Copies of this chain bind each other. A is one copy, B any other.
Amino acid sequence: MNNTEKPELLRSIEVCLTPRLFSEIQTKGDYIVVLVDILRATTSICAAFENGVKNILPVATLDQARLLKDQGYLVASEQDGKKLDFADFGNSAFNFTAEAIGGKTLVYCTTNGTRALEIAKDALKIAMGSFTNLTALTAWLVQQDSNIVILCSGWKNKFCLEDTIFAGALAEKLLDGHQFQTHCDATHASIDLWRIAEPDILDYIEKAAHRHRLKDLKLDDIIPYSFTVDSTRVVPVYSAGYIKDEQPNN
């Protein structure tokens, strides 16, 4: 489809740099939200589906997570990057092996990701974005007939580099297909930052504050995996309370 002569038909892309700014989005009409939390939730959720989890039940509070643990569910839960005692796993992608979660429902409680799901509840769908599913996610988004808001989780509502460069990578791929346009400064900035980062992502991300927090917590072994592009074809999508895989066929 070549929409260059009908620019009003182009679907819009908007980047929201932190959840605190979601109330300011200017996208009109229906939209899909791509949720991004590179150094935790969304990369880990992609890993869980790659390793065969049946579905994921995200919960917002520790009380809900404890209750479901008591009912026999597998539970992933952490606070400020640390696994909570009652849980089966923290939220690291490395926890979600096929042996541990294949064919099962996983209850997932995070300080960041679940709040973002709540904020984005008016979206048609909410997809999970990570470097590991970048190309599959792009293909899925192209197949939907909807505008797109890329919602970066950030860290405690602050801007973070790792989510922003992913937003830039995704926006650049979408704009390359001529079905999308953007009038959003945050989208332009994200793309520019991604182009700086792309030649050596791990070197670029060295200056990110969250990268240093993970190092202090000895959780930074996940860094190289979190910035590996296209290791999976899964597209985890949140709808009606659950996250399921909607990976495109082609």
Q: A85 → chain B, closest Cβ, in Å?
A: 28
Q: Kindly list chain B residues whose C-beta atoms are within 8 Å of the C-beta of A210.
A: 185
Q: A240 → chain B, closest Cβ, in Å?
A: 31
Q: When A184-B209, A193-B192 are in contact, do A21 and B21 touch as well, CB less than 8 Å?
A: yes
A192, B161: Cα distance in complex, Å? 11
A208, B196: Cα distance in complex, Å? 19
Find out whether the CB atom of B185 lies under 8 angstroms from the CB atom of A26.
no
The chain B residue with its CB closest to the CB of A157 is B24
| B-contact 0/1 string along A178-197, CB 8 Å cutoff | 00000111101100110010
Find out whether the CB atom of B20 lies under 8 angstroms from the CB atom of A21.
yes
Q: Does A225 contact B (CB under 8 A)?
A: no
A208, B184: Cα distance in complex, Å? 8
Stoichiometry, copies per complex: 2
Find out whether the CB atom of A185 lies under 8 angstroms from the CB atom of B209.
yes
Partner of A208, one of B24, B185, B208: B185
Q: Does A18 contact B (CB under 8 A)?
A: yes
| B-contact 0/1 string along A33-52, CB 8 Å cutoff | 00000000000000000000
Q: Does A92 contact B (CB under 8 A)?
A: no
Q: Does A136 contact B (CB under 8 A)?
A: no
| B-contact 0/1 string along A133-153, CB 8 Å cutoff | 000000000000000000000
Q: Does A121 contact B (CB under 8 A)?
A: no
Partner of A26, one of B158, B186, B193: B158
Find out whether the CB atom of B185 lies under 8 angstroms from the CB atom of A189.
no
- The 5 tightest CB contacts between A and B, nearest first, are A159-B186, A161-B185, A24-B157, A188-B207, A160-B185
Question: In the complex, given contacts A21-B21, A160-B185, A192-B193, what are 14 additional A-B residue pairs having Cβ atoms less than 8 angstroms apart?
Answer: A17-B17, A17-B159, A18-B24, A21-B157, A158-B185, A158-B186, A159-B186, A161-B185, A183-B209, A184-B209, A188-B208, A189-B189, A189-B193, A192-B196
